[in-house]
Amino acid sequence: MIIIGFESSCDETGVALVCTERGLLAHTLHSQIDMHREYGGVVPELASRDHIRRIIPLTRQVLYQAGVGLDDIGAVAYTAGPGLAGALLVGASVAQSFAWARQLPAIPVHHLEGHLLSPLLAQPQPEFPFVALLVSGGHTQLMRVDGVGQYALLGETLDDAAGEAFDKSAKLMGLGYPGGPALSRLAEGGDPAVYDLPRPMLHSRDLDFSFSGLKTAVLTRVRALEKSHGQLSDTLLADLAAGTEAAIVDVLAAKAIKALDKTGIRRLVVAGGVGANRHLRKQLKHEVGRRGGKVYFPPLEFCTDNGAMIAFAAAQRVKAGLEDLNPRDHAFTIRPRWDLQDVCIAASSTDVSPVGFP
């Protein structure tokens, strides 16, 4: 079966085709970064209007790339949440209209489930069970994954997500939008040891995160540097950026390793936009590798929001027998706030008593 998937939860419009037997056939993506850069962040109304402009041309493009006709499509998938309400409505309404016109089943997909399963688009694929570190723009979570639809929350951020910590710190330093990638690029030329920045909850006994204190520490440091140096030089900013990145990565890596140790699972999957960070990838590969485990990442093009992960997640749910493929009346709703465990078929084991690697 060929499934077409639509992603429009925030500031990327993605459309993709996935075959349940052959995998990804084609995908297209339009990013709104240039449009939102002028405002220093995502403007929801502008995002929704741009999705409306882009989604149909992208659909034509992906069909052409794959050499697939409308009659070849067997189901339609779309991001139903979480995300910006107006943006979600664009993808959902187009998908449901498509399904109604062709009398096809429509499959609402949880955005984070798409991220969670996106490393399966790469080779080699991780086997179940695995621990997943989800680090997308507004989410930082550790999940135990025993199979498709079998997810258990191990820990999550209590305030700012890692992506928000990157973006907000970058804004405090006067860097451009999007802040996270700009901070990481600047950090490449800096010394992370120059500034002693906090690693919040690094040594806590649980698997939760907190990054708001780091943001406050960066603000305090910026103000102190401005007071003593006036306008900050590129060298000062690079060192501060490197210190900020190192603090975030240290916490993410330490908590991920702790999750592996406590569950006794060898495999770590990293997904979401922050998963593209080179420092994080290097540190996790080293730390997991020296413990005899293995870490898996999605291809870089699938770290940020995209239609491929939505179509692929729907395909995995179909193959697992979790979706009713009978066409319905195509009434639909979106869920801007949506707990990932709401899509679980059964609660995975949440026992995280220390057992070490098997």
DSSP string, 105-138: -EEEEEHHHHHHHGGGGSSSPPPSSEEEEEEETT
Say whether both 212 and 86 belong to one domain. no
What is the reported pLDDT for 347? Answer: 45
Q: 72 and 24 in one domain?
A: yes
Q: Are residues 270 and 146 in the same domain?
A: yes
- What CA–CA distance (Å, rounded) separates 214 from 199? 7
Query: Is 354 part of a structural domain of the chain?
Result: no
Say what percent of the chain tops pLDDT 90. 87
| Confidence check: pLDDT of 118 > 80 | yes
Q: Is residue 357 part of a domain?
A: no
Both 90 and 133 in one domain: the answer is no
Please indicate, yes or no, whether residues 293 and 318 belong to a single structural domain of this protein. no
Instruction: Categorize the per-residue pLDDT at 346 as very low, low, confident or very high, splitting at 50, 70 and 90.
Output: low
In a domain, 317, yes or no: yes
Domain-located, residue 34: yes
Residue 140 has pLDDT above 80, yes or no: yes
335 occurs within a structural domain: yes
For residues 78 and 98, membership in a common domain is answered with: yes
Number of domains comprising the chain: 2
> Is there a single domain that holds both residue 263 and residue 136?
yes
* Stated pTM of the model: 0.92
For residues 178 and 57, membership in a common domain is answered with no
Is residue 201 domain-shared with residue 53, that is, in the same domain? Answer: no
Same domain flag for 109 and 135: no
Radius of gyration of the chain (CA): 21
CATH of the domain at 102: 3.30.420.40
The answer to whether residue 145 sits within a structural domain is yes
Q: Is 328 helix (H, G, I), strand (E, B) or coil?
A: coil
Residues 283 and 152 in one domain: yes
pLDDT in tens, 149-208: 999 999 999 999 999 999 999 999 999 888 999 999 999 999 999 999 999 999 999 999
Q: Is position 58 within any domain?
A: yes
Structure tokens at 299: 């291809």
pLDDT in tens, 77-98: 999 999 999 999 999 999 999 9
Sign of CA dihedral 209, 215, 216, 222: positive
Contact partners, residue 175, CB within 8 Å, separation at least 6? 182, 183, 186, 237, 241
Domain extent, residue 273, equals 128-297
* 162 plus 214 within the same structural domain: yes
pLDDT of residue 350 exceeding 70, the answer is: no
